[in-house]
Structure 1
Amino acid sequence: MAITILADSACDLSEHYYNEYSIEMIPLTVHLESKDYRDSVDIKPKTIYDAMREGQTPKTSQASANQFKEIFTSYAEAGKPLLYIAFSSELSGTCQAAKMVEQEIKEKYPEAKLHIIDSKCASLGLGLVVLEAAKMAQKDISFDEIIQQTAKNAAQMEHIFTVDNLEYLYRGGRVSKTAAFVGGLLNIKPLLHVDGGKLIPLEKIRGTKKVLKRMIEVMEKRGSNFQNQTIGISHGDDLPRAQELSRMIQDTFHVKEENIIIEMVGSVIGAHSGPGTLALFFYNK
């Protein structure tokens, strides 16, 4: 029986991937100007970035238990297998909400083939893990094998990123006030990564130009076999810099352009990272 992959909107994949690989999606919520919007359904990331540039502070909230209950119940009743690959539990309560509903559903439908993976990933790092799982599902690989490989893929996914303004991460409680102030004052660009599902600062780099070069260096140190994997780049409404990073990867590691996916950071994650964010995702050694 066909296995369905469920993702949430924090994976920052474009709609055509959902359609091509029959991926189900649950949207998180963005609050802007006293209105609620479903991420990637009712609002585009560009709207969020423009609002932030004008001084507005969008807020976000996790997917609700009711959203999960509806979709989990429909699959359990139909006896169809469903694998939900969740946004890092260290960055959102979405995964926890899903796990609570999972327990409830399995009490009522003990035979339900329903599984949740806390990916500890975010943005296109999560997106790449979701895509690999969906490709496996299309090849009729068994449910248990997909779960096992997906957990391994998630654990090996590197997130290397920088932000244009630390103030946004400070507002979202992701960095200290002192770090945000000093960074802005000295034109310091932080390089961060995701470790154990959390955002962890790696180093501080002065000036934008040096950041891209340093991202390539970190990529070379941590990863390998780049020609045989899909590499992800996501950006906070800064396509030219994302394309520049893509060219550097192609030149340095002899990666084909078609093996690099470039997406805009979605509304939910973008509301915390801000315009000018640039992130790089690849499988490590």
Structure 2
Amino acid sequence: MSIAVVTDSTASLPLELRSEHGITVVPLHVVVDSQERVDDDSINDWVVDALHRKADISTSRPAPISFLRAYEAAAKGGAQAIVSVHLSSDLSGTVDSARSAALESPVPVHVIDSRTIGMGVGFAAVAASRDAAAGRDVDDVVERLERRLGGSSARWLVHSLDRLRRGGRIGGAAALLGSALAVKPVLHVHDGQVAPLERVRTAGKAIARLQELTVQDSRSLPDWADGVDIAVQHIEADDRAQGLARALSDAVSTRVETTRLSATVASHVGLGTIGVAVLPHIRD
């Protein structure tokens, strides 16, 4: 069976991975001062400038027709089934749009609510594509994908909760509002929502804590797992992100992806954010 894989732009997948694995990305939309653009690599600097200016920024999910066009194109290209994996439904209505479109798709679509965001979603899409290329049937691809996502983690150092608060994506992290300005909140995605993990006094200590927790993840795997995919994600924090990636690569002896966050995610977490996504491999 030929299986196509679709995701959305919040997965922050680098172009080379999208191209290598034939993954279709359906973009969300970003609005800055009433000007709307689709979320792709070309608007990153535009959003960074808007964040520096403290401009009014909002985002919106793709319309169902955008997903339907992607599903129709996949079917026309020979796909007999589609796996469509997206950011947490508690953070966006993107999954709902995908599910609506799936009802009209010319081939069956398995819509997966990842319960996470960023490269956790991106790695999941890559894993699904690899499993499909290995000849697994769609039910096996979906089962393995859901198992990986259940063992995944996503943690973030943000310098301010203001953007998350404005966008309504703050979840349990609202408990940190009003904390001392010197405190750097370390957040994680828990049960599909942004939640507080720890409060650290400095950004340096927060990054060290991200490293420590990621190393723990890589060494405390479920019985079915064998190794992990790791990505360091950031917005306007390239030096620190590259340093963290090198430290993690040395500590766990694996390649670590470094990628810029998509414009949609960046607009909600703010400048200087660094995140780490971990997705376990499945032992074959």
Per the alignment, residue 179 of structure 2 pairs with 182
Give the secondary-structure state (helix, strand or coil) at the position aligned to 2:196: strand
- Kindly indicate whether the alpha-carbon contact (under 8 Å) linking 1:76 and 1:114 is maintained by their aligned counterparts in 2: no
TM-score of the superposition, structure 2-length normalised?
Answer: 0.88
Instruction: State which of 163, 166, 169 in structure 1 corresponds to 2:158.
Output: 163
TM-score of the superposition, structure 1-length normalised?
Answer: 0.88
1:130 aligned onto 2:129: no
Give the secondary-structure state (helix, strand or coil) at the position aligned to 1:230: strand
Q: Say which is worse superposed, 138-147 or 59-68, in terms of deviation.
A: 138-147
Instruction: State which of 139, 145, 149 in structure 2 corresponds to 1:144.
Output: 139
Cα gap change, 1:283/1:73 in structure 2, threshold over 3 Å: closer, same or farther?
A: closer
Instruction: State which of 141, 146, 167 in structure 2 corresponds to 1:172.
Output: 167
Aligned length: 274
CA distance in 2: counterparts of 1:79 and 1:243, whole angstroms: 37
1:121 aligned onto 2:120: no
Give the superposition deviation at 1:33: 2.5
In structure 2, runs of 5+ residues without a counterpart are none
Identical aligned pairs, as a percentage? Answer: 25
Per the alignment, residue 261 of structure 1 pairs with 257
Q: Which amino acid aligns with 2:3?
A: I
1:220 aligned onto 2:219: no
Give the superposition deviation at 1:284: 6.1
CA distance in 2: counterparts of 1:162 and 1:20, whole angstroms: 30
Per the alignment, residue 102 of structure 2 pairs with 102
Give the superposition deviation at 1:14: 1.6
Residues 50-65 of structure 1: pairs in structure 2 closer than 5 A: 50-65=49-64
Give the secondary-structure state (helix, strand or coil) at the position aligned to 2:179: helix
Give the secondary-structure state (helix, strand or coil) at the position aligned to 1:275: coil
Per the alignment, residue 202 of structure 2 pairs with 207
Give the superposition deviation at 1:225: 7.0
Q: CA RMSD in A?
A: 2.3
Give the secondary-structure state (helix, strand or coil) at the position aligned to 1:182: coil
Cα gap change, 1:33/1:223 in structure 2, threshold over 3 Å: closer, same or farther?
A: same
In structure 1, runs of 5+ residues without a counterpart are none
Residues 209-248 of structure 1: pairs in structure 2 closer than 5 A: 209-224=204-219, 228-248=227-247
Q: Deviations over 1:197-254 (max 9, x none)?
A: 111101111111111111122223344279933211100121101011112213333x
CA distance in 1: counterparts of 2:117 and 2:151, whole angstroms: 13
Give the superposition deviation at 1:128: 1.0
